[in-house]
A and B are shown apart, each in its own frame.
Chain A
């Protein structure tokens, strides 16, 4: 999806010189929110994401944990089983609801790791010019790797578990973050106020943490969402290939089990509902990041 995806770096890069920076974050944040709440797509995405999070947290209240088997095998959706049942007679609705937990956990954990690491590498590269060349090469190299086969390889060698999935997805997502953040940080580093800060302290740590990181935060926010949605897709992809955690419900696992049991050709409900859940999460995350990016760009603020 990379090439088609909306690329915050491009937008951000072009408009950087006039960007509001950390010093006015309070007012800027408020202004962004004012614009954002007038974007129906953005609000709708936010609501959907919030709903998914509620579903994940409230899973025990919404549906019992899918039993190990049931007597009604491969029943189509009905009033009793709203999403139908799978080849072991388990309720697909319960699987999708409990799968939300795992999918969101992977999304959040993997993107937090990728963002933290990716941002760190990016600002270090932007600030210390000597490191930049080396870091850029590593990032370009990692970005040019065939990610899915490598993920499959690692997951297969280490053995499937939730921690593996998170680590694998994070390990292959950070270069994207680094690239986005670095392009933003490079322009920030050259701004006069950073030069001014250099006069006040010799501590790069202080300058980076107080002046550069806050200035790239908007890009980070956008890439959190984009990375999270990519993590969901990767995790679902790995789970579908049988490299997910076989003991925890995830949307990818529902698809994987449908495929394994040979039920895909006949039981449409097994694939439709988890796919819709994945679509909702990824689409709303992407739309949210676009809406947020538009909203925080002062040029788009019709006052």
Chain B
């Protein structure tokens, strides 16, 4: 996923087990047995205000959670990264450079206008034209134009063949009402702050009342076809702003709020599972945490040095202690086990072995001094707002020291960290991504020269070729095979050191039930379908 703000956002987070992959999403039927639309208010805790009400612009977690309830996506995602229908019912390719979406005909904007293919096409074209900073625009590299060929069918022209783009746009892009947004000169500058007679959405809830720093109230939309019964069950959803996760937990325990939107810190999961009155839901992780070694540094440009560093990390300790066994090894491969089609179990995790790391350093031509230290020092950057990474960065430093490699930790405030990341001002980068759903797209961004998240500054012709092939291959088996070869190159050359996929845990009051989990902190239990189906326990 490319919009770092969304992504790195997930930091604070917590996790789950391998098992979680099979943890069933509550089947939609579960909610139908319960009450139909009632008068209840569902109160949810968050830690940040909404900065941006325009869903097309890159945004924070609160922005995403709240705008996601108003502006539908064409597709949603399941626990294995597969796209599932939301506004779109069907999608695919007409030919190499033409894709299509067929959308539902029963969705309405909250002002009564129907949601049409014209809205979808207009949104895509406007984003391509005005280039709002965000994930959506980031997906449109090979997008040329979209046309509504009927009320329910959109056709997309591509500037070159791209076998991933239709699903990626469908998942990452929101659809906004043309008749509201077209009044703005540019969608990149449209604040959509409700100052012009309130908000117009097509989700289960529409924002009605905002008290900055306090709360965001959303009222139910009576007609929402994506929920059983056609009407969302809670009458209101209220997001309340809290200073941090500690106060959120206290508010949940005291019954002030019914759910916490932020993922729980790993160390709190067991404790809350055992707390009376609280239910903890497990959500599959679809992203990963990793370290990259900046190959512009002459030392790190040497394969042996990168290998030595990779062998000097105690991955098990990190997953056991910092993540409380709520994370899964990816076998040091960017193809995570959760992407079950792509996962290649022949790639195994770099073994923690400081002697081997020393041998590799010697092989690279370094000689240890009398204290056993090699004459190198690497600066590792991470965000202090990311408590999990902050914790394991220390472990990385300590285990590297055992191998005689000095790592200097530089944890900074998030904006400084993002600036350093963009400038390549680091030797080792530590961070994570919330959703890495499509291998071709992710490899393009992470490993091609000039890629937005190519923090290794890798430019390997063989890898570049494979990624380019993957992008134009439409045959699924062939594509999987190509991406596996690419992942092996990344793994063997330590172009990226993927450490784990973290499963997340979310807490809600046991007075509420019927939540439907979706992967990642962005969707979790606060996705539109889930909140529309949530109901009080009778």
Residues of A bordering B, CB below 8 Å: 68-71, 73-74, 87-89, 156-157, 159-160, 242-243, 246-247, 257, 259-266
Asked if residues B394 and A68 are in contact (CB atoms below 8 Å), the reply is yes
- In the assembled complex, the Cα of A71 lies from the Cα of B325 at a distance in Å of 12
Residues of B within 8 A of A261 (CB): 265, 267-268, 387, 391
Asked if residues B413 and A242 are in contact (CB atoms below 8 Å), the reply is yes
B320 to chain A, nearest CB (A): 8
Interface status of B246 (Cβ within 8 A of chain A): yes
Q: Besides A87-B265, A159-B416, 19 other CB < 8 A contacts?
A: A68-B394, A74-B267, A74-B271, A87-B391, A157-B416, A160-B413, A242-B385, A242-B413, A246-B390, A246-B411, A257-B387, A260-B387, A261-B268, A262-B245, A262-B246, A262-B249, A263-B246, A263-B267, A266-B268
- In the assembled complex, the Cα of A242 lies from the Cα of B390 at a distance in Å of 11
Chain B, range 368-406, C-beta contacts under 8 Å to A: 384-385, 387, 390-391, 394-395, 397-398
**Contacts A160-B412, A261-B267: A88 and B391 contacting too (C-beta < 8 A)?**
yes
Interface status of B324 (Cβ within 8 A of chain A): yes
Asked if residues A73 and B321 are in contact (CB atoms below 8 Å), the reply is yes
Q: Nearest chain-A residue to B243 (Cβ)?
A: A259
A85 to chain B, nearest CB (A): 11
- In the assembled complex, the Cα of A97 lies from the Cα of B122 at a distance in Å of 63
Residues of A within 8 A of B410 (CB): 159
- In the assembled complex, the Cα of A70 lies from the Cα of B398 at a distance in Å of 13
Asked if residues A262 and B384 are in contact (CB atoms below 8 Å), the reply is no
A60 to chain B, nearest CB (A): 18
Q: Nearest chain-A residue to B272 (Cβ)?
A: A266
A-B contacts, 11 listed (Cβ < 8 Å): A71-B321, A87-B391, A88-B321, A160-B384, A242-B385, A246-B390, A247-B411, A259-B244, A260-B12, A262-B249, A266-B249
Interface status of B250 (Cβ within 8 A of chain A): yes
- In the assembled complex, the Cα of A87 lies from the Cα of B268 at a distance in Å of 9
Asked if residues A159 and B267 are in contact (CB atoms below 8 Å), the reply is no
Residues of A within 8 A of B412 (CB): 159-160
**Contacts A68-B394, A260-B390, A265-B250: A156 and B416 contacting too (C-beta < 8 A)?**
yes
**Contacts A68-B395, A69-B317: A87 and B267 contacting too (C-beta < 8 A)?**
yes
Asked if residues A246 and B267 are in contact (CB atoms below 8 Å), the reply is no
Residues of B within 8 A of A266 (CB): 249, 268, 271
| Chain A CB within 10 Å, residue with most, of B250, B267, B322 | B267
A76 to chain B, nearest CB (A): 12
Asked if residues B384 and A265 are in contact (CB atoms below 8 Å), the reply is no
Asked if residues B322 and A88 are in contact (CB atoms below 8 Å), the reply is yes
Asked if residues A247 and B409 are in contact (CB atoms below 8 Å), the reply is yes
B482 to chain A, nearest CB (A): 39
Of B253, B265, B390, B413, the residue contacting A156 (CB under 8 A) is B413
**Contacts A159-B416, A246-B411, A262-B267: A73 and B324 contacting too (C-beta < 8 A)?**
yes
Interface status of B264 (Cβ within 8 A of chain A): yes
Asked if residues B395 and A69 are in contact (CB atoms below 8 Å), the reply is yes
- In the assembled complex, the Cα of A242 lies from the Cα of B416 at a distance in Å of 13
Residues of B within 8 A of A70 (CB): 321
Of A242, A246, A262, the residue contacting B265 (CB under 8 A) is A262
Task: Name the 9 nearest CB pairs between A and B, nearest first.
Answer: A262-B265, A260-B387, A87-B267, A264-B246, A262-B245, A68-B398, A246-B411, A69-B321, A242-B384
Q: Nearest chain-A residue to B382 (Cβ)?
A: A246
Contact with A along B336-366 (1 / 0, CB 8 A): 0000000000000000000000000000000
Residues of B within 8 A of A88 (CB): 321-322, 391
| Chain B CB within 10 Å, residue with most, of A74, A259, A262 | A262
Asked if residues A259 and B411 are in contact (CB atoms below 8 Å), the reply is no
B232 to chain A, nearest CB (A): 30
Asked if residues B246 and A259 are in contact (CB atoms below 8 Å), the reply is yes
B37 to chain A, nearest CB (A): 34
A154 to chain B, nearest CB (A): 12
Q: Nearest chain-A residue to B263 (Cβ)?
A: A262
Asked if residues B390 and A265 are in contact (CB atoms below 8 Å), the reply is no
**Contacts A159-B416, A247-B409: A89 and B321 contacting too (C-beta < 8 A)?**
yes
- In the assembled complex, the Cα of A259 lies from the Cα of B246 at a distance in Å of 7
Residues of B within 8 A of A259 (CB): 244, 246
Q: Nearest chain-B residue to A245 (Cβ)?
A: B411
- In the assembled complex, the Cα of A156 lies from the Cα of B416 at a distance in Å of 8
Contact with A along B7-34 (1 / 0, CB 8 A): 0000010000000000000000000000
**Contacts A69-B317, A246-B384: A265 and B413 contacting too (C-beta < 8 A)?**
no
- In the assembled complex, the Cα of A88 lies from the Cα of B412 at a distance in Å of 20
Asked if residues B253 and A265 are in contact (CB atoms below 8 Å), the reply is yes
Q: Nearest chain-A residue to B262 (Cβ)?
A: A262
B120 to chain A, nearest CB (A): 40
A91 to chain B, nearest CB (A): 14
- In the assembled complex, the Cα of A88 lies from the Cα of B393 at a distance in Å of 12
Residues of B within 8 A of A260 (CB): 12, 265, 387, 390
- In the assembled complex, the Cα of A159 lies from the Cα of B425 at a distance in Å of 14
**Contacts A263-B268, A266-B271: A69 and B244 contacting too (C-beta < 8 A)?**
no
**Contacts A262-B249, A263-B265, A263-B268: A246 and B413 contacting too (C-beta < 8 A)?**
no
Asked if residues B245 and A243 are in contact (CB atoms below 8 Å), the reply is no
B431 to chain A, nearest CB (A): 15
A192 to chain B, nearest CB (A): 56
A87 to chain B, nearest CB (A): 4
| Chain B CB within 10 Å, residue with most, of A160, A246, A260, A263 | A260
Residues of A within 8 A of B409 (CB): 246-247
Residues of A within 8 A of B411 (CB): 160, 246-247
Asked if residues B264 and A262 are in contact (CB atoms below 8 Å), the reply is yes
B399 to chain A, nearest CB (A): 8
Q: Nearest chain-B residue to A243 (Cβ)?
A: B413
Asked if residues A262 and B413 are in contact (CB atoms below 8 Å), the reply is no
Chain B, range 220-258, C-beta contacts under 8 Å to A: 244-246, 249-250, 253
- In the assembled complex, the Cα of A159 lies from the Cα of B415 at a distance in Å of 11
Of B267, B387, B394, the residue contacting A73 (CB under 8 A) is B267
- In the assembled complex, the Cα of A259 lies from the Cα of B242 at a distance in Å of 13
- In the assembled complex, the Cα of A88 lies from the Cα of B244 at a distance in Å of 20
Residues of A within 8 A of B267 (CB): 73-74, 87, 261-263
